[in-house]
Structure 1
Amino acid sequence: MSAQVEEIRLNLGHIELAAHLFGPADGIPVIALHGWLDNANSFARLAPRLKGLRIVALDLAGHGYSEHRPAGASYALADYAHDVVRVAQQLGWERFGLLGHSLGAIISVQLAGALPDRVSHLLMIDGVIAPTGVEQDAAERLGMALQAQLRLDGKRKSVYANLEEGVEARMKGMVAVSREAAELLAQRGLMPVPGGYSWRSDSRLTLPSPVRLSETQAMAFVKRVKCNACLVVAADGMLARHTALLEQLPFEQVSLPGGHHLHLNDEHGATLVADCINRFFGFP
């Protein structure tokens, strides 16, 4: 396939999202969803290596060049799933594949379980279900979330004197990435502000979730997935230590060397993940 990428914008009525478009027009339709606080450039190394796919790599709401949700709104997983269905509707895709990393993988599983007849393929990179909670903690969790929302009103985003400082901050983030990965994410993530640069992402993305599914509820989405599904587990990533969860999953699993962003951190990792995805879609 061509390595060329096209920048597009999708007006969904309730929000406008930015995206990268890869691959031949007659390829298998796939919507790619990045991880938390990342953007469409999460797939900049991976997508050009994939064969026979028409990939729309979104900037999720509140990330990259996409719009933020309106005042008073939040970033619930169900709202992301709604955005994806609207994107498919606008593109005229009745059935489509999902390629998700981390948060994007979680959204993909929920959507594939909620609307199993709409999703043709499910490919997950080091993510599968959101952190779960227990029923007796529900009130405490909501209280914590409400307090965090109120505190956010008085906070200001970090401002970096130059682009290099912003890149270094991303390298040392909650999930560390390579310099090359941070530079790619910064292309869509950093914006000029008075005094330097700041990340475009909506500050509300850092708020704790007011509600968590129980493990039974989370696994209900997994069990309703009908399509072929494959989970790439990064050997040094976030899922590898959750062996009890991995043993419950009905999906094909492939373990690959690398960290949580193995598809983005370097060329070798991108090639390994691409080879896995190409085999999964039947393009050796």
Structure 2
Amino acid sequence: MFQVEEIRIQLPHIDLAARVYGPENGKPVLALHGWLDNAMTFELLAPRLQGLRIVAMDMAGHGHSGRRGPGAGYQLWDYALDALMAAHQLGWQRFSLLGHSLGGIISVLIAGAVPERIERLALIDGLVPDTGEAAHSPKKLGEALLAQIALADKKKTVYSTIEQAVEARKRGLIAVSQQAAELLASRGLSPVAGGYSWNTDQRLTLPSPLRLTNAHALAFVNALECPVSLVLAEQGLLLNIPEFVYFLDHLGKPNIQVERMPGGHHLHVNDEQGAQAVADCFNGFFAG
């Protein structure tokens, strides 16, 4: 029978929750979910991946994990530090990363920054962040600072029923299937006065105060030394961005395998067929 358990990873600065899949003697894999999602995004995929010990974290501010303290933020490098410290707590000196969307971006930053620690990199519709050139930085920083001040007056949406919250998630900024919305809601909703609310930290919706430039993004990808398997969703986010397609066409990295599959941005959790297709790709990759 496939093993699943819940653990908590206590770091000096934050307490993280994680859902663990697979045998204790499996190859260690740290799984990082997408923006405003949680560890349940891997619920259909993880049982289909063979011989792996997958620790799917709720990243800080998401799911059952803690929120950052007052004055702190949720920058990419903050998540990267959390992930490396979590691996240290797990006793993993060398491990692989499985990342979807934002989790894939963070995985690339980690693998580029400390390549000696990463065995393999499996990515689902995520590679590099939205970039911004230096000339736009002052304006973007101003927008981010003002948005942070304005956040104090915003209140979270309260749904009278779980079904209403699930429906809202289905029709969100990135639409998902009924099954995916229900899985994410099972870990992402909390009861509040008047009904239910998503338990993600509101600061996660703030714009980034500083973006990497195209040169920064390319430098991290070029620094990757481990084998990389990138699954791109045909109806997802990345293939609809001309800048990304250009970036992808000019990588010139023989260690990066790219597989295009039908489905949306959450193809690995939207339905069983998508999860199996991604698993078929990654099983051969991890076995290699």
- Scaled by the length of structure 2, the TM-score of the pair is 0.97
Q: Which residue of 1 aligns with 2:125?
A: 126
Matched, 1:84 2:83: yes
Matched, 1:278 2:278: no
Q: For 1:91 and 1:262, how far apart are their aligned partners in 2?
A: 29
Q: Which residue of 1 aligns with 2:248?
A: 246
Q: For 1:4 and 1:94, how far apart are their aligned partners in 2?
A: 23
Counterpart residue type for residue 15 of structure 1 = I
1:67-114 per-position Cα deviation (integer Å, ceiling 9, x unaligned): 000011000100100000001100110000000000000000000000
Once the two structures are superposed, the pairs formed by residues 17-28 of structure 1 within 5 Å of their partners are 17-28=16-27
Once the two structures are superposed, the pairs formed by residues 193-232 of structure 1 within 5 Å of their partners are 193-232=192-231
The offset of 1:178, in angstroms, is 0.2
Which region of structure 1 is more displaced relative to structure 2, 244-253 or 148-157?
Answer: 244-253
Counterpart residue type for residue 8 of structure 1 = I
The offset of 1:171, in angstroms, is 0.3
Q: For 2:154 and 2:116, how far apart are their aligned partners in 1?
A: 43
Matched, 1:72 2:71: yes
Q: For 1:186 and 1:142, how far apart are their aligned partners in 2?
A: 33
The offset of 1:3, in angstroms, is 2.6
Once the two structures are superposed, the pairs formed by residues 97-136 of structure 1 within 5 Å of their partners are 97-136=96-135
The offset of 1:183, in angstroms, is 0.2
Secondary structure in 2 aligned to 1:257? strand
Q: For 1:103 and 1:8, how far apart are their aligned partners in 2?
A: 22
Does the CA contact (< 8 Å) of 2:104 and 2:125 recur in 1? Answer: yes
- Scaled by the length of structure 1, the TM-score of the pair is 0.98
Q: Which residue of 2 aligns with 1:156?
A: 155
Q: For 1:26 and 1:226, how far apart are their aligned partners in 2?
A: 25
The offset of 1:282, in angstroms, is 1.5
User: Identical aligned pairs, as a percentage?
Assistant: 56
1:228-280 per-position Cα deviation (integer Å, ceiling 9, x unaligned): 10100001101123321221232110011100000000000000000101010
Q: Which residue of 1 aligns with 2:261?
A: 256
Q: For 1:183 and 1:221, how far apart are their aligned partners in 2?
A: 35
Which region of structure 1 is more displaced relative to structure 2, 274-283 or 180-189?
Answer: 274-283
Counterpart residue type for residue 45 of structure 1 = L
Q: For 1:116 and 1:110, how far apart are their aligned partners in 2?
A: 10
The offset of 1:4, in angstroms, is 2.9
Q: For 1:217 and 1:245, how far apart are their aligned partners in 2?
A: 12
Q: For 1:218 and 1:153, how far apart are their aligned partners in 2?
A: 32
The offset of 1:24, in angstroms, is 1.0
The offset of 1:5, in angstroms, is 1.1
Counterpart residue type for residue 42 of structure 1 = T
Q: For 1:154 and 1:272, how far apart are their aligned partners in 2?
A: 44
Q: Which residue of 2 aligns with 1:167?
A: 166
Counterpart residue type for residue 47 of structure 1 = A
Which region of structure 1 is more displaced relative to structure 2, 253-262 or 238-247?
Answer: 238-247
Q: Which residue of 2 aligns with 1:187?
A: 186
Secondary structure in 2 aligned to 1:258? strand
RMSD over aligned Cα, in angstroms? Answer: 0.8
Give aligned pairs, total.
282
Matched, 1:56 2:55: yes
Q: For 1:53 and 1:260, how far apart are their aligned partners in 2?
A: 24
The offset of 1:184, in angstroms, is 0.1
Secondary structure in 1 aligned to 2:248? helix
The offset of 1:40, in angstroms, is 0.1
1:107-162 per-position Cα deviation (integer Å, ceiling 9, x unaligned): 00000000000000001000100000011111101000001001100000000000
The offset of 1:26, in angstroms, is 1.0
Counterpart residue type for residue 252 of structure 1 = Q
Secondary structure in 2 aligned to 1:98? strand
